Structure 1
Protein backbone atom coordinates (compact mmCIF):
# COMPACT_ATOMS: atom_id res chain seq x y z
CA UNK A 1 0.00 0.00 0.00
CA UNK A 2 1.26 3.48 -0.86
CA UNK A 3 0.52 6.49 1.32
CA UNK A 4 1.25 10.09 0.30
CA UNK A 5 2.36 12.52 3.00
CA UNK A 6 2.56 16.29 2.72
CA UNK A 7 5.51 17.31 4.85
CA UNK A 8 7.45 20.35 6.05
CA UNK A 9 10.74 18.49 5.46
CA UNK A 10 12.06 15.64 3.35
CA UNK A 11 12.33 12.94 6.04
CA UNK A 12 9.93 10.86 8.12
CA UNK A 13 11.15 12.69 11.21
CA UNK A 14 9.85 15.98 9.72
CA UNK A 15 6.45 17.37 10.67
CA UNK A 16 3.34 16.69 8.66
CA UNK A 17 2.34 19.99 7.03
CA UNK A 18 -0.50 21.82 8.71
CA UNK A 19 -1.97 22.70 5.28
CA UNK A 20 -2.16 20.50 2.21
CA UNK A 21 -2.01 23.58 0.01
CA UNK A 22 1.19 24.96 1.59
CA UNK A 23 3.35 21.89 2.08
CA UNK A 24 7.00 21.87 1.07
CA UNK A 25 7.51 18.17 0.29
CA UNK A 26 5.53 15.19 -0.91
CA UNK A 27 6.71 11.83 0.39
CA UNK A 28 5.31 8.57 -0.93
CA UNK A 29 5.63 5.73 1.55
CA UNK A 30 5.43 2.00 0.89
CA UNK A 31 3.74 0.96 4.12
CA UNK A 32 4.63 -2.73 4.06
CA UNK A 33 8.24 -1.77 4.74
CA UNK A 34 7.81 1.82 5.94
CA UNK A 35 10.16 2.76 3.15
CA UNK A 36 10.21 6.09 1.36
CA UNK A 37 9.51 5.40 -2.29
CA UNK A 38 9.66 8.99 -3.53
CA UNK A 39 10.50 12.45 -2.23
CA UNK A 40 9.50 15.48 -4.22
CA UNK A 41 9.97 19.17 -3.43
CA UNK A 42 6.67 20.86 -4.13
CA UNK A 43 7.20 24.11 -6.02
CA UNK A 44 5.14 26.02 -8.52
CA UNK A 45 2.15 23.70 -8.69
CA UNK A 46 -1.42 24.28 -7.64
CA UNK A 47 -3.22 22.30 -4.97
CA UNK A 48 -5.25 20.62 -7.71
CA UNK A 49 -2.08 19.61 -9.57
CA UNK A 50 -0.66 18.19 -6.34
CA UNK A 51 -3.85 16.21 -5.74
CA UNK A 52 -3.73 14.84 -9.28
CA UNK A 53 -0.05 13.90 -8.87
CA UNK A 54 -0.93 11.90 -5.73
CA UNK A 55 -3.70 10.12 -7.63
CA UNK A 56 -1.35 9.40 -10.55
CA UNK A 57 1.17 7.86 -8.13
CA UNK A 58 -1.50 5.26 -7.23
CA UNK A 59 -1.59 6.19 -3.56
CA UNK A 60 -4.41 4.70 -1.50
CA UNK A 61 -4.36 7.38 1.17
CA UNK A 62 -2.85 10.66 2.26
CA UNK A 63 -1.63 11.98 5.59
CA UNK A 64 -1.86 15.76 5.51
CA UNK A 65 -3.22 18.86 7.17
CA UNK A 66 -6.21 21.05 6.41
CA UNK A 67 -7.32 21.94 2.90
CA UNK A 68 -7.80 25.49 1.58
CA UNK A 69 -8.80 24.24 -1.88
CA UNK A 70 -12.18 22.53 -2.19
CA UNK A 71 -11.35 21.25 -5.73
CA UNK A 72 -8.15 19.53 -4.47
CA UNK A 73 -10.07 17.90 -1.62
CA UNK A 74 -12.79 16.78 -4.05
CA UNK A 75 -10.25 15.26 -6.45
CA UNK A 76 -8.75 13.13 -3.69
CA UNK A 77 -12.13 12.18 -2.22
CA UNK A 78 -13.63 11.31 -5.61
CA UNK A 79 -10.60 9.11 -6.36
CA UNK A 80 -11.32 7.18 -3.16
CA UNK A 81 -8.19 8.14 -1.23
CA UNK A 82 -8.50 7.87 2.53
CA UNK A 83 -7.57 11.21 4.06
CA UNK A 84 -5.84 11.26 7.46
CA UNK A 85 -5.24 14.31 9.68
CA UNK A 86 -1.56 14.22 10.62
CA UNK A 87 -1.03 17.72 12.02
CA UNK A 88 1.02 17.77 15.20
CA UNK A 89 2.94 14.59 14.37
CA UNK A 90 6.12 13.65 12.61
CA UNK A 91 5.70 11.49 9.54
CA UNK A 92 6.89 8.42 11.43
CA UNK A 93 4.46 9.06 14.33
CA UNK A 94 1.56 9.62 11.92
CA UNK A 95 2.28 6.35 10.10
CA UNK A 96 2.34 4.45 13.39
CA UNK A 97 -0.95 6.04 14.49
CA UNK A 98 -2.47 5.19 11.11
CA UNK A 99 -1.42 1.55 11.53
CA UNK A 100 -3.02 1.54 14.99
CA UNK A 101 -6.18 3.04 13.43
CA UNK A 102 -6.07 6.03 15.78
CA UNK A 103 -5.10 8.76 13.31
CA UNK A 104 -8.23 10.88 12.68
CA UNK A 105 -9.87 10.87 9.26
CA UNK A 106 -10.53 14.03 7.27
CA UNK A 107 -14.13 13.29 6.33
CA UNK A 108 -15.05 16.59 4.71
CA UNK A 109 -13.52 19.79 3.38
CA UNK A 110 -14.10 21.59 6.70
CA UNK A 111 -12.04 18.93 8.48
CA UNK A 112 -14.75 17.88 10.94
CA UNK A 113 -15.71 14.32 11.82
CA UNK A 114 -19.06 14.57 10.01
CA UNK A 115 -19.42 13.05 6.57
CA UNK A 116 -20.67 15.29 3.81
CA UNK A 117 -21.99 14.42 0.38
CA UNK A 118 -20.52 11.15 -0.86
CA UNK A 119 -16.96 11.76 0.41
CA UNK A 120 -16.15 9.18 3.07
Structure 2
Protein backbone atom coordinates (compact mmCIF):
# COMPACT_ATOMS: atom_id res chain seq x y z
CA UNK A 1 0.00 0.00 0.00
CA UNK A 2 1.30 3.45 -0.94
CA UNK A 3 0.84 6.57 1.17
CA UNK A 4 1.72 10.08 -0.04
CA UNK A 5 3.25 12.64 2.33
CA UNK A 6 3.82 16.32 1.59
CA UNK A 7 7.22 17.01 3.13
CA UNK A 8 9.74 19.79 3.67
CA UNK A 9 12.59 17.50 2.57
CA UNK A 10 13.34 14.37 0.57
CA UNK A 11 13.43 11.85 3.44
CA UNK A 12 11.13 10.31 6.02
CA UNK A 13 12.93 12.36 8.69
CA UNK A 14 11.58 15.55 7.04
CA UNK A 15 8.65 17.39 8.62
CA UNK A 16 5.21 17.12 7.05
CA UNK A 17 4.74 20.37 5.16
CA UNK A 18 1.98 22.65 6.46
CA UNK A 19 0.46 23.51 3.05
CA UNK A 20 0.06 20.99 0.23
CA UNK A 21 0.17 23.54 -2.61
CA UNK A 22 3.59 24.85 -1.47
CA UNK A 23 5.21 21.58 -0.43
CA UNK A 24 8.83 21.21 -1.59
CA UNK A 25 8.56 17.40 -1.88
CA UNK A 26 5.98 14.70 -2.28
CA UNK A 27 7.04 11.42 -0.71
CA UNK A 28 5.47 8.19 -1.95
CA UNK A 29 5.92 5.56 0.75
CA UNK A 30 5.27 1.85 0.43
CA UNK A 31 4.22 1.11 4.00
CA UNK A 32 4.98 -2.61 3.74
CA UNK A 33 8.65 -2.02 2.86
CA UNK A 34 9.00 1.65 3.99
CA UNK A 35 10.62 2.31 0.60
CA UNK A 36 10.32 6.03 -0.08
CA UNK A 37 10.29 7.74 -3.47
CA UNK A 38 10.92 11.49 -3.25
CA UNK A 39 9.40 13.74 -5.92
CA UNK A 40 10.50 17.40 -5.97
CA UNK A 41 7.64 19.87 -6.43
CA UNK A 42 8.11 22.79 -8.80
CA UNK A 43 5.79 25.33 -7.17
CA UNK A 44 6.25 27.90 -9.93
CA UNK A 45 4.15 26.10 -12.54
CA UNK A 46 0.51 26.94 -13.14
CA UNK A 47 -1.64 24.14 -11.71
CA UNK A 48 1.33 22.44 -10.03
CA UNK A 49 -0.78 21.31 -7.06
CA UNK A 50 -3.23 19.62 -9.46
CA UNK A 51 -0.30 17.80 -11.07
CA UNK A 52 0.80 16.69 -7.57
CA UNK A 53 -2.70 15.39 -6.81
CA UNK A 54 -2.71 13.48 -10.09
CA UNK A 55 0.69 12.01 -9.21
CA UNK A 56 -0.82 10.69 -5.97
CA UNK A 57 -3.51 8.98 -8.04
CA UNK A 58 -0.97 7.61 -10.54
CA UNK A 59 0.99 6.02 -7.69
CA UNK A 60 -2.25 4.48 -6.38
CA UNK A 61 -1.85 6.04 -2.97
CA UNK A 62 -4.58 5.15 -0.52
CA UNK A 63 -3.96 8.20 1.66
CA UNK A 64 -2.25 11.58 1.82
CA UNK A 65 -0.65 13.01 4.95
CA UNK A 66 -0.32 16.78 4.67
CA UNK A 67 -1.29 20.13 6.11
CA UNK A 68 -3.83 22.48 4.53
CA UNK A 69 -5.44 21.41 1.24
CA UNK A 70 -6.85 23.67 -1.47
CA UNK A 71 -10.45 22.95 -2.46
CA UNK A 72 -9.66 21.73 -6.00
CA UNK A 73 -7.04 19.25 -4.71
CA UNK A 74 -9.36 18.14 -1.91
CA UNK A 75 -12.08 17.36 -4.47
CA UNK A 76 -9.74 15.41 -6.78
CA UNK A 77 -8.51 13.25 -3.92
CA UNK A 78 -11.89 12.78 -2.23
CA UNK A 79 -13.55 11.85 -5.53
CA UNK A 80 -10.92 9.12 -5.99
CA UNK A 81 -11.35 7.84 -2.40
CA UNK A 82 -7.91 8.98 -1.18
CA UNK A 83 -8.09 9.44 2.59
CA UNK A 84 -6.63 12.76 3.76
CA UNK A 85 -4.83 13.06 7.11
CA UNK A 86 -3.48 16.14 8.89
CA UNK A 87 0.13 15.50 9.91
CA UNK A 88 1.66 18.96 10.19
CA UNK A 89 4.04 19.23 13.15
CA UNK A 90 5.32 15.67 12.81
CA UNK A 91 8.10 14.14 10.74
CA UNK A 92 6.92 12.04 7.79
CA UNK A 93 7.95 8.88 9.65
CA UNK A 94 6.16 9.94 12.86
CA UNK A 95 3.04 10.82 10.86
CA UNK A 96 3.04 7.43 9.13
CA UNK A 97 3.31 5.67 12.50
CA UNK A 98 0.54 7.85 13.95
CA UNK A 99 -1.64 7.06 10.93
CA UNK A 100 -1.10 3.34 11.49
CA UNK A 101 -2.19 3.78 15.14
CA UNK A 102 -5.21 5.85 13.98
CA UNK A 103 -3.93 8.92 15.83
CA UNK A 104 -4.00 11.40 12.92
CA UNK A 105 -6.92 13.75 12.39
CA UNK A 106 -8.86 13.25 9.14
CA UNK A 107 -9.12 16.20 6.78
CA UNK A 108 -12.88 16.14 6.21
CA UNK A 109 -13.14 19.35 4.17
CA UNK A 110 -10.86 21.94 2.53
CA UNK A 111 -11.13 24.26 5.55
CA UNK A 112 -9.64 21.60 7.81
CA UNK A 113 -12.52 21.59 10.30
CA UNK A 114 -14.25 18.48 11.63
CA UNK A 115 -17.38 19.23 9.62
CA UNK A 116 -18.05 16.72 6.85
CA UNK A 117 -18.37 18.32 3.43
CA UNK A 118 -21.31 16.44 1.96
CA UNK A 119 -20.53 17.78 -1.50
CA UNK A 120 -17.02 16.27 -1.66
CA UNK A 121 -18.19 13.35 -3.76
CA UNK A 122 -21.08 12.45 -5.96
CA UNK A 123 -21.13 8.69 -5.76
CA UNK A 124 -24.14 6.48 -6.18
CA UNK A 125 -23.12 4.32 -3.24
CA UNK A 126 -23.49 5.50 0.35
CA UNK A 127 -20.45 7.00 2.00
CA UNK A 128 -19.80 7.24 5.72
CA UNK A 129 -18.28 10.46 6.93
CA UNK A 130 -17.99 11.55 10.53
CA UNK A 131 -20.46 8.93 11.65
CA UNK A 132 -23.28 9.72 9.27
CA UNK A 133 -24.24 8.50 5.83
CA UNK A 134 -24.88 10.68 2.81
**TM-score normalized with structure 1 length:** 0.93
Number of residue pairs aligned between Structure 1 and Structure 2 = 118
Which position in structure 1 is the counterpart of 2:53? 51
Secondary structure at the counterpart of residue 61 of structure 2: coil
Which position in structure 2 is the counterpart of 1:39? 38
Structure 2 residue 110 is matched with structure 1 residue 109: yes
Structure 1 residues not aligned, in runs of 5+: none
Counterparts of 1:33 and 1:111 in 2: how far apart (Å)? 30
1:54-73 maps to which residues of 2 (within 5 A)? 54-67=56-69, 69-73=70-74
Distance 1:118 1:31, change over 3 A: farther
CA RMSD of aligned residues (A): 1.2
Instruction: Give the greater-gyration-radius structure (CA).
Output: 2
Counterparts of 1:92 and 1:59 in 2: how far apart (Å)? 16
Greater relative contact order (CA < 8 Å, ≥ 6 in sequence): 1
1:5-16 maps to which residues of 2 (within 5 A)? 5-16=5-16
Which position in structure 2 is the counterpart of 1:19? 19
Note the C-alpha offset of 1:118: 4.6
Counterparts of 1:49 and 1:39 in 2: how far apart (Å)? 15
**TM-score normalized with structure 2 length:** 0.83
